[in-house]
A = this chain, B = another copy of it.
Amino acid sequence: MAKKKLNIGLIGKGFMGRAHSLAWANAGRIYDTEFEPVLKYCCGTQLAAAQEFAERQGWEKATDDWRDVTGSSDIDVVDIVAPTYVHSEIAIAAAKAGKHVFCEKPAAVTYAQAKAMAEAANEAGIVHYLNHNYRRVPAVAYAKQLIDEGRIGDIYHWRGAYLQDWVVDPDFPLTWHFKKEMAGGGPLFDLGSHSVDLARYLVGEIGAVTAVQKTFVSERPLPGEGAATFSSGGNASAEKGHVDIDDASFMIAEFENGALGSFDATRFANGRKNWNDFEIYGSKGSLRWNFESMNELYFFDATQPAVEQGFRRISVTSGEHPYAGSWWGPGHVLGYENAFFHAVYDFLRALSGDGKIAPNLNDGAACIKVLEAAIKSNAEKRRVEISEIG
């Protein structure tokens, strides 16, 4: 049976543009779906670079104006990988144009923006997805399954940490990541948003937070020539500018179901590269996962005889595990980009089915609400109820 063509428009490129391109281009090689994604149109702020990107990644054409994409009658899905501060405007335009939206995280730089884009999406009745990719790591999806099956029981604790070290050097330049208006926040937004999304997915809604933020390096050299990337800040200029976001944010969360959680997000943890780590403790069992060994889930089953209990390293790579059955088999580990394939697959399934996929832009807004509560908590040096935001 011939597949239905599904025309994708990608807005933004860089690291995430490449990861998304790979997933759209190859989903059909891995999965049975009703749709054949077509890499139709891509957009970058500089036309020549966008064209080069398009050629390499297989996009049919390129533009430097994202409105060309959202406004194109030819496009079914708008995939947004542009910087966070433009997500909202693009997503709203896409939704109003009836395009489905596939959007990188975090949703936006403020709750107001995030809420607006979620509302626009809901109103338009489109399928919308926010790419907190870690939900789609098989080990994380399997953790969710164990929780849903009651294997963990009532949850007492979430302990989340997302630690990196790429800006420890005080001469790492003042890229957009350090500007509140563009990034929303520092690790609180970039990393903490992932942790909060995972916690909402696995534990439940957060009712109140208490947070403390620190900026260890308050002045950084302005960026010079050359691209600044995740692992390299490009050239720094001699002039310095002010950092107006956090270098580290530690937060205690009280979940609505009574669980007590901690969230430590920092870019100043020397030796931790992409240390996205969580522990969940419940009345019947416990879980531990870390992205750097993403194929392993540690499960403690408190219902076994006490004498033989222990955290069990499950290699979440067998055909019975979520997503893993489409890949290489037991012990054949997956990597970072595979979760993007899973996201595309689930998005295609949502289009074929009931249109539901999580997290979506509503989840994105709920997440930003928690982060804004954290900022308020730090500013006012007190516990803040999530309901105070909004």
Chain A interfacial positions (CB closer than 8 Å to B): 15, 18-19, 21-22, 25-26, 28-29, 56-58, 142, 146, 156-157, 159, 161, 163-166, 168, 210-212, 214, 216, 229-232, 248, 250-252, 254, 258, 260-262, 264, 266, 268-275, 279, 281-286, 291-296, 298-300, 302, 306-315, 317-321, 327-338, 381-383
Q: Are B310 and A157 in contact (CB under 8 A)?
A: no
Using A274-B332, A283-B168 as known contacts, say yes or no to A308 and B319 having CB atoms under 8 A apart. Answer: no
Q: Are A321 and B307 in contact (CB under 8 A)?
A: yes
Most chain B CB neighbours (cut-off 10 Å) among A22, A26, A270, A311: A270
Using A18-B29, A168-B283, A291-B331 as known contacts, say yes or no to A318 and B268 having CB atoms under 8 A apart. Answer: no
Chain B residue with Cβ nearest A300: B271
Q: Are A302 and B333 in contact (CB under 8 A)?
A: no
Chain B residue with Cβ nearest A154: B216
Using A214-B258, A260-B250, A314-B310 as known contacts, say yes or no to A161 and B159 having CB atoms under 8 A apart. Answer: yes
CB contacts (< 8 Å) of A168 on chain B: these are 156, 283, 302
- In Å, the complex CA distance between A310 and B330 comes to 12
CB<8 Å pairs between A and B, sample of 13: A142-B307, A156-B216, A157-B266, A210-B381, A230-B330, A271-B281, A273-B317, A273-B330, A274-B333, A291-B331, A307-B320, A313-B313, A327-B337
CB contacts (< 8 Å) of A291 on chain B: these are 331, 333
Q: Are A270 and B299 in contact (CB under 8 A)?
A: no
Using A262-B264, A381-B382 as known contacts, say yes or no to A329 and B270 having CB atoms under 8 A apart. Answer: no
CB contacts (< 8 Å) of A328 on chain B: these are 15, 19, 336-337
Q: Which of B56, B252, B298, B382 contacts A382, CB < 8 Å?
A: B382
CB contacts (< 8 Å) of A161 on chain B: these are 159
Q: Are B383 and A212 in contact (CB under 8 A)?
A: yes
Chain B residue with Cβ nearest A336: B332
Most chain B CB neighbours (cut-off 10 Å) among A251, A266, A315: A315
CB contacts (< 8 Å) of A216 on chain B: these are 156, 258
- In Å, the complex CA distance between A298 and B214 comes to 25
Q: Which of B163, B210, B331, B336 contacts A333, CB < 8 Å?
A: B336
Q: Are A270 and B275 in contact (CB under 8 A)?
A: no
Chain B residue with Cβ nearest A166: B330
Using A29-B18, A270-B283, A291-B331 as known contacts, say yes or no to A231 and B307 having CB atoms under 8 A apart. Answer: no
- In Å, the complex CA distance between A231 and B357 comes to 30
- In Å, the complex CA distance between A164 and B310 comes to 13
- In Å, the complex CA distance between A301 and B22 comes to 36
Chain B residue with Cβ nearest A275: B331
